[in-house]
Copies of this chain bind each other. A is one copy, B any other.
């Protein structure tokens, strides 16, 4: 069961700009990955060649955004002390961005690939929120 939206945390914001504004959130990567998954599902359900061409080109864009948002977190949000505390973090980001690329979500229209990507983003997200509460 889903919590009513009004009870959802209001102060959570997401991360991105390199002033830096200090606003970061793995949700940005996750949202694009959800889109990749939804596109893959629609692709599987619709054999129309025009629709499929559009699906592939839009999926390419959303997957690129997944990579971008993850790269921003890895470079701009995470600091040396985080990488010391979470020694797996480099590899996690490397695997996640690879999963969004040609060997993953870009190169596949299988929703299961998008699921793997989402799981990897969730791992990153957990660490992210731990560091925010530290």
Contacts and interface: CB of A to CB of B under 8 A. Distances in A.
A120 interface: no
Given A54-B60, A55-B19, A83-B94, A13 B39 contact: no
Given A71-B71, A101-B76, A21 B53 contact: no
Nearest to A48: B107
Contacts of A132: 5
6 contacts: A19-B55, A21-B35, A50-B52, A75-B101, A76-B98, A90-B94
Closest 8 CB pairs of A and B: A90-B90, A13-B34, A14-B31, A21-B38, A75-B97, A5-B129, A71-B71, A21-B35
A38 to B, nearest CB: 4
Contact of A28 (B31, B64, B75, B94): B31
Chain A binding surface, main DSSP class: helix
Given A57-B57, A76-B98, 13 more contacts: A2-B11, A5-B10, A5-B12, A13-B31, A17-B61, A17-B62, A19-B39, A19-B58, A21-B39, A28-B31, A53-B53, A74-B97, A90-B91
